[in-house]
Chain A
């Protein structure tokens, strides 16, 4: 057993138990003190962690991460395990790329790579009405967001935000190419100021849609340019930052 704070940034394995920083048994003093002066931060236990009697039980292998939330005391913040996996599990609010597999009455069925197909109402598009239906065909790609996603229900997607705007979501064009990468790489690419994206953008113009479900849609001017981006992105899974820079230098260097 180790204190959660001490393990941040380290590899944790399933079965490890992390002591909570503000667990009453261990840190009763701090709790009481904190109760008076500064409000104790709320502790969130994210993916790969579970509450158990002794503290936090690690359920996945990966690096333990921690983020302070809203300037609380040291005890608060969110802990999660940054793990590498391929299979996607829908999460509410995630932006994903789905493939339309069927049109069933008022809803489309989308394959998002999860255990169950997601449903998408034809009204959940910007400006869609009962008369003005979006033109969606089986096999089309759709970029949308999960409105409902939990373990007991069929996931439901929408292509509009809470104010009814498309906000970039909707049907993805007929051109371009779709690839599948690990969820870890997607998170790396989606990180603010992702190095890979910045380096790639030095090459030539291209369009990119990143879905949290590990799918990437790429479109460049020519087939060849698209293929190059696709190959670089797929290779990023296995390359170190150094190797990647070298590979990219081939294109942009001269």
Chain B
């Protein structure tokens, strides 16, 4: 809810996440906004919608969902484009776009600082932003990044250094009620058995 701050600090444990926190409704112009911090990684999400469709993207049966990921330095490149795709597909799975046909929902994600697990932080910021905007959602979702270090151990929510050392990095988007995987992406190589999946 706007003007409220939800703050959760994860309890320290063996295989733990970095402390994370979230601030919602911090921008005055967008219909919904949220900043999500995971350790030193943080992403700001601003969202407009359901709003007028720009151009000829209008869909007769559902809302057009547009995700823009803006890097801090330079213009969006190939990595941003591919992540935008992943994020859009994740959000589309959850947003009940059929309730607002012929409208556009624009989600802009601005990277504030990248210290590892950026994609999962984007997913979390997107979810909090959608929640703040009051868009109809079939469920909540969250993102988790895991890194497999050369020994095969799993590191949750890795930092940039851990990501560099890792053999493989896996990012999952998981929905809230049934803990189903909405989206997954892998970088590096890992065996099928190693494909871990655990909700936070």
Q: Closest residue of chain B to A111, judged by CB?
A: B52
A interface SS class: loop
Can you name the residue of chain A whose Cβ is closest to the Cβ of B63? A115
Q: A237–B50 Cα gap in the complex (Å)? A: 22
Given contacts A13-B140, A14-B138, A115-B51, contact A61 B131 (CB under 8 A): yes
Q: Chain A's nearest CB lies how many Å from the CB of B6? A: 10
Interface of B is mostly: loop
Which residues of chain B in 11-64 are interfacial with respect to chain A, using CB atoms and an 8 Å cutoff? Answer: 31-32, 48-53
Q: Which of B2, B138, B140 contacts A86 (CB 8 A)?
A: B2
Q: A-side interface residues toward B, CB under 8 Å?
A: 13-17, 48, 50, 57, 59-62, 83-87, 89, 114-116, 151-152, 182, 184, 237-238
- Residues of B near A237 (CB, < 8 A) are 2-3
How many angstroms between the C-alpha atoms of A234 and B3 in the bound complex?
13
For residue B47, which residue of chain A has the nearest CB?
A87
- When the two chains form the complex, which single residue of A60, A116, A152, A238 contacts B134, counting CB atoms closer than 8 Å? A60
The complex places the Cα of A14 from the Cα of B135 at a distance, in Å, of 10
Which B residues touch A16, using CB under 8 A? 177
Considering only CB atoms and an 8 Å cut-off, how many residues of chain B contact the other chain? 31
B: residues with CB less than 8 A from A are: 1-3, 31-32, 48-53, 94, 96, 99-104, 131, 133-140, 175-177
Contacts between the two chains (Cβ within 8 Å), count: 85
Asked if A115 contacts B3 (CB within 8 A), the reply is no
Residues of B within 8 Å of A50, CB to CB, are: 96, 136
Besides the known contacts A13-B131, A84-B1, A85-B32, 16 further A-B residue pairs in the complex with CB atoms under 8 A apart: A13-B140, A13-B176, A14-B136, A14-B176, A15-B140, A48-B136, A57-B138, A59-B136, A59-B137, A61-B134, A62-B134, A85-B134, A115-B102, A151-B99, A152-B102, A238-B3
A84 touches B2 (CB 8 A): yes
Tell me, rounded to whole Å, the shortest Cβ–Cβ distance linking A114 to chain B.
Answer: 8
Which of A59, A85, A87 neighbours the largest number of chain B CB atoms within 10 Å of its CB? A87
User: A87–B133 contact, CB under 8 A?
Assistant: yes
B140 and A14 within 8 A (CB): yes
* 8 sampled A-B residue pairs with Cβ under 8 A: A14-B139, A50-B96, A60-B136, A86-B133, A115-B50, A115-B100, A152-B101, A237-B2
Say yes or no: B134 contacts A84, CB within 8 Å: yes
Residues of A within 8 A of B104 (CB): 115
A85 to B48, CA, bound (A): 11
- The residue from B1, B99, B175 contacting A62, defined by CB atoms under 8 A apart: B1
Contact of A14 among B53, B101, B137 (CB under 8 A): B137
**Residue on B with the closest CB to A87?**
B31
